[in-house]
Amino acid sequence: MLGKGKILGAGSEADLAKHEGEIRQITVTVRPPSGDEPKAQITKVLAGVEGVSKVAEPYEQGGGLSFSLSTSKDCRAEVSRAVVDAKLDLIKLDYARGELESTFIRLVGGSDAGN
């Protein structure tokens, strides 16, 4: 894989993905609790889960708040357990692992890599 005239990665799709395999994305949708600062309350719960390295600003979806989590491992079970243990309603939990295209984009430096 080349980017800006340099070799950024070499090997099969599986080999390249192995190096990027620890970068994972979990999207969790939680029904906001009543009371003050529901976003902050949910963010605190999610950020406290082992393996969660970043909690993005949520967006509204399907009657809940959806949070994108960057994780260092597959921690779906831990995320769902933390949400339920905090007496919050888990509406949806999705998981994505980087594929070749996202691996390429990360290696070449983002969406403006062609410039």
Nearest to 59 by CA among 93, 24, 30: 30
Checking if the pLDDT of 101 tops 60, the result is no
**Average per-residue pLDDT in the chain?**
79
Tokens of 32: 């906001």
Checking if the pLDDT of 83 tops 80, the result is yes
| pTM (2 d.p.) | 0.67
User: φ and ψ at 100, to 5 degrees?
Assistant: -55, -45
Q: Are 52 and 69 in contact (CB under 8 A)?
A: yes
Nearest to 58 by CA among 49, 68, 48: 68
Tokens of 61: 């979806």
Checking if the pLDDT of 5 tops 90, the result is no
Lowest mean pLDDT, pick from 15-19, 56-60, 69-73, 109-113: 109-113
